[in-house]
Amino acid sequence: MSGNMKALFFGMFRKNICRLQIFKNGNISIGVGEKLAHCNVRLRDEYYGEWEIGSYHSNWIFFDQDRPLYSGGDAKSDLMSVEKNIGLIILGRQILDIQTIDNFKVKVIASSGSSFVFNSSDDMDDESFHIFSPNGFSLGFNSSKGWMLFDK
Protein backbone atom coordinates (compact mmCIF):
# COMPACT_ATOMS: atom_id res chain seq x y z
CA MET A 1 0.00 0.00 0.00
CA SER A 2 1.48 3.35 -0.97
CA GLY A 3 2.15 6.00 1.63
CA ASN A 4 -0.61 8.21 0.20
CA MET A 5 -3.22 5.46 0.50
CA LYS A 6 -2.00 4.47 3.96
CA ALA A 7 -2.39 8.09 5.08
CA LEU A 8 -6.13 7.94 4.27
CA PHE A 9 -6.54 4.97 6.59
CA PHE A 10 -4.01 5.87 9.27
CA GLY A 11 -6.86 6.57 11.72
CA MET A 12 -7.57 2.83 11.89
CA PHE A 13 -4.14 1.93 13.23
CA ARG A 14 -3.79 1.55 17.01
CA LYS A 15 -7.57 1.19 17.38
CA ASN A 16 -9.04 -1.88 19.06
CA ILE A 17 -10.72 -4.72 17.24
CA CYS A 18 -14.31 -4.64 18.49
CA ARG A 19 -16.10 -7.17 16.30
CA LEU A 20 -15.44 -10.39 14.44
CA GLN A 21 -17.88 -12.22 12.25
CA ILE A 22 -17.13 -15.19 10.04
CA PHE A 23 -19.87 -16.27 7.67
CA LYS A 24 -20.93 -19.77 6.56
CA ASN A 25 -19.12 -19.40 3.24
CA GLY A 26 -15.87 -18.33 4.95
CA ASN A 27 -16.23 -14.57 4.38
CA ILE A 28 -14.89 -12.52 7.25
CA SER A 29 -15.69 -9.10 8.69
CA ILE A 30 -13.59 -7.41 11.38
CA GLY A 31 -14.76 -4.24 13.13
CA VAL A 32 -12.12 -1.80 14.36
CA GLY A 33 -12.47 1.29 16.55
CA GLU A 34 -15.66 2.62 18.09
CA LYS A 35 -18.80 0.50 18.04
CA LEU A 36 -21.38 2.21 15.81
CA ALA A 37 -24.98 1.11 16.30
CA HIS A 38 -27.15 0.36 13.28
CA CYS A 39 -30.87 -0.40 13.00
CA ASN A 40 -30.72 -3.47 10.77
CA VAL A 41 -32.41 -6.20 12.81
CA ARG A 42 -31.44 -8.85 10.23
CA LEU A 43 -27.78 -8.57 11.20
CA ARG A 44 -26.33 -10.63 14.04
CA ASP A 45 -24.37 -7.85 15.74
CA GLU A 46 -26.07 -4.65 16.86
CA TYR A 47 -23.13 -2.54 15.70
CA TYR A 48 -20.39 -2.18 13.13
CA GLY A 49 -16.87 -1.10 13.86
CA GLU A 50 -15.98 2.49 13.02
CA TRP A 51 -13.70 0.84 10.44
CA GLU A 52 -14.58 -2.51 8.85
CA ILE A 53 -12.02 -4.73 7.18
CA GLY A 54 -12.37 -8.16 5.66
CA SER A 55 -13.06 -10.19 2.57
CA TYR A 56 -16.03 -11.51 0.63
CA HIS A 57 -13.94 -14.61 -0.13
CA SER A 58 -12.80 -17.49 2.08
CA ASN A 59 -9.21 -17.28 0.87
CA TRP A 60 -7.67 -16.07 4.16
CA ILE A 61 -5.43 -17.56 6.85
CA PHE A 62 -5.18 -16.54 10.51
CA PHE A 63 -1.75 -16.77 12.14
CA ASP A 64 -0.85 -16.60 15.81
CA GLN A 65 2.84 -15.84 16.39
CA ASP A 66 3.54 -16.77 12.72
CA ARG A 67 1.89 -20.18 13.18
CA PRO A 68 -1.11 -20.80 10.90
CA LEU A 69 -4.15 -21.68 13.02
CA TYR A 70 -7.27 -21.27 10.88
CA SER A 71 -8.39 -20.48 7.38
CA GLY A 72 -11.59 -19.49 5.66
CA GLY A 73 -11.91 -23.13 4.59
CA ASP A 74 -11.81 -24.25 8.25
CA ALA A 75 -14.57 -21.79 9.04
CA LYS A 76 -16.87 -23.47 6.52
CA SER A 77 -16.75 -26.73 8.47
CA ASP A 78 -16.57 -25.47 12.09
CA LEU A 79 -17.76 -21.87 11.97
CA MET A 80 -18.61 -21.24 15.63
CA SER A 81 -15.41 -22.79 16.99
CA VAL A 82 -13.14 -20.96 14.53
CA GLU A 83 -14.82 -17.60 15.19
CA LYS A 84 -14.72 -18.08 18.98
CA ASN A 85 -11.04 -19.11 19.04
CA ILE A 86 -9.88 -16.29 16.77
CA GLY A 87 -11.99 -13.84 18.80
CA LEU A 88 -10.29 -14.90 22.03
CA ILE A 89 -6.97 -13.89 20.49
CA ILE A 90 -7.83 -10.67 18.65
CA LEU A 91 -10.86 -8.97 20.22
CA GLY A 92 -9.67 -5.92 22.16
CA ARG A 93 -6.31 -5.94 20.38
CA GLN A 94 -5.13 -3.21 18.02
CA ILE A 95 -4.48 -3.14 14.29
CA LEU A 96 -0.82 -2.18 13.93
CA ASP A 97 -0.28 -2.29 10.17
CA ILE A 98 -1.52 -3.48 6.81
CA GLN A 99 1.09 -4.64 4.31
CA THR A 100 1.07 -5.84 0.74
CA ILE A 101 3.27 -8.94 0.72
CA ASP A 102 3.33 -9.44 -3.04
CA ASN A 103 0.88 -9.04 -5.89
CA PHE A 104 -1.37 -11.66 -4.32
CA LYS A 105 -1.38 -11.14 -0.52
CA VAL A 106 -2.38 -8.53 2.04
CA LYS A 107 -1.29 -8.98 5.66
CA VAL A 108 -3.15 -7.37 8.58
CA ILE A 109 -1.02 -7.29 11.72
CA ALA A 110 -2.59 -7.09 15.21
CA SER A 111 -0.97 -6.22 18.54
CA SER A 112 -1.52 -9.73 19.87
CA GLY A 113 1.27 -11.07 17.65
CA SER A 114 -1.38 -12.44 15.33
CA SER A 115 -2.17 -11.62 11.73
CA PHE A 116 -4.50 -12.37 8.88
CA VAL A 117 -3.20 -12.99 5.38
CA PHE A 118 -5.73 -12.43 2.62
CA ASN A 119 -4.82 -14.25 -0.57
CA SER A 120 -5.88 -13.16 -4.01
CA SER A 121 -5.79 -15.02 -7.28
CA ASP A 122 -5.73 -14.05 -10.94
CA ASP A 123 -9.30 -15.19 -11.51
CA MET A 124 -10.83 -12.90 -8.84
CA ASP A 125 -12.75 -10.02 -10.37
CA ASP A 126 -13.84 -8.72 -6.98
CA GLU A 127 -11.43 -7.46 -4.34
CA SER A 128 -9.87 -10.09 -2.09
CA PHE A 129 -9.57 -7.62 0.79
CA HIS A 130 -11.37 -4.39 1.68
CA ILE A 131 -11.37 -1.54 4.19
CA PHE A 132 -14.50 0.57 4.81
CA SER A 133 -13.75 3.85 6.56
CA PRO A 134 -15.97 6.24 8.53
CA ASN A 135 -14.92 9.11 6.25
CA GLY A 136 -16.68 7.77 3.15
CA PHE A 137 -13.70 6.19 1.41
CA SER A 138 -13.11 2.51 0.95
CA LEU A 139 -10.11 0.63 -0.28
CA GLY A 140 -9.96 -2.73 -2.00
CA PHE A 141 -7.16 -5.01 -3.13
CA ASN A 142 -7.24 -7.21 -6.21
CA SER A 143 -4.26 -9.10 -7.70
CA SER A 144 -4.80 -7.76 -11.22
CA LYS A 145 -5.56 -4.13 -10.24
CA GLY A 146 -3.64 -3.76 -6.97
CA TRP A 147 -5.03 -1.22 -4.47
CA MET A 148 -8.20 0.57 -5.55
CA LEU A 149 -9.67 3.61 -3.81
CA PHE A 150 -13.44 4.08 -3.87
CA ASP A 151 -15.44 7.15 -2.90
CA LYS A 152 -19.05 6.90 -1.65
Tell me what pLDDT residue 44 has: 81
Coil/strand/helix, residue 2: coil
127 domain-assigned: yes
36 domain-assigned: yes
Using one digit for the tens of pLDDT, what is the confidence trace for 19-61? 999 988 889 999 999 999 888 888 788 888 999 999 988 889 9
Which residues form the domain of 93?
Answer: 3-134
Which is nearest to 62 in space by CA: 125, 104, 3, 20?
A: 20
Of the ranges 1-10, 41-50, 60-69, 141-150, the best mean pLDDT one: 60-69
Using one digit for the tens of pLDDT, what is the confidence trace for 79-95? 889 999 999 999 999 99
Q: What integer is the mean pLDDT of 130-135?
A: 92
148 domain-assigned: no
- Number of domains forming the structure of the chain: 1
103 domain-assigned: yes
Compute the distance between CA of residue 58 and CA of residue 45 in angstroms, rounded to an integer: 20
29 domain-assigned: yes
90 domain-assigned: yes
pTM assigned to the model = 0.90
